[in-house]
Amino acid sequence: MEYTLNLHGRLMDFSQPQVMGILNVTPDSFYAGSRVQTERDIAARANQIVAEGGSMIDVGGYSTRPGAMEVSEAEEMERLRFGLDVVRRELPYSVISVDTFRPDVARMAVEEFGADIINDVSEGSEEMYRMVSRLRVPYILMSQQPTIKKMLLSFATQVQQLRDLGVKDIILDPGFGFGKTLEQNYEVMGELEKLLVMELPLLVGISRKSMIYKLFGCTPNESLNGTTALNTIALMKGTSILRVHDVKEAAECVKVFSHLSPLTPNT
């Protein structure tokens, strides 16, 4: 997709798909391999993401897995301040996305640490829309709608709300694993290219999720192969960003896809 994001004056080009690596400063995210809580481990994970081909680091301080413990806004901020400080010291010019649904947490991350992107898994709110407009950062808008048709209707309204507030850079996330049955997740993947009618970049985050391990009757630890297969399908359907735990494998998917894409008919 011919699209660029304005990251505090730097332009990020999406003519080739990008990989976003997950860094969770939480004790209870569903995939243990993404949890890092010490300064040393956070630094190591951030450097690993970049070394393996990630162009964005998505930092989260609140687990959204089913049954996760409630975390206060103050605790989420404390976790993120600790993690973002380490990442910024280690990689001062890295592109940082912050995974939060709370407007004041988003404000803190941007104003105190120069976070570049807000990744909101709550389907958005008027308060968050106003905040990202004020902060002038790109916004990842996720949908919990169960079908592509309902998703498109919802996205059309939400994108117009954001545009009316002056938000220029919007990324759409179909929300795999949120508000959908296993079957609905696969139906959405099967029709994913229909979201391209919005003419906005798509982010897909299916890394080691239950739609994979429940299908195979295994665990998140055994779900890398399924993740790679679905990431490849997502790229073929027009995805611009893969949000993943396993950066090296996702970057290899992108490399193979980019090599083949001139020979692949447009979806």
Which residues partner with 194 through β-bridges? none
Catalytic residue among 40, 243, 248, 255: 243
CA 109 to chain CA mean position, Å = 16
Nearest by Cα to 141 from 234, 149, 157: 157
Cβ–Cβ under 8 Å, residues 241 and 171:
yes
Told to judge if 209 belongs to the known catalytic residues of this protein, a careful annotator would answer: yes
Tokens of 174: 């179909």
Told to judge if 136 belongs to the known catalytic residues of this protein, a careful annotator would answer: no
Within 8 A by CB and 6+ apart from 220, the residues are 30, 31, 32, 208, 209, 213
- The span from the CA of 94 to the CA of 108, in Å, is 18
Catalytic residue among 150, 209, 214, 248: 209
Q: How far is CA 60 from CA 19, 144, 216, 231, in A?
A: 16, 19, 28, 21
Q: How far is CA 25 from CA 22, 32, 261, 266, in A?
A: 10, 11, 36, 39
Catalytic center residues: 209, 243
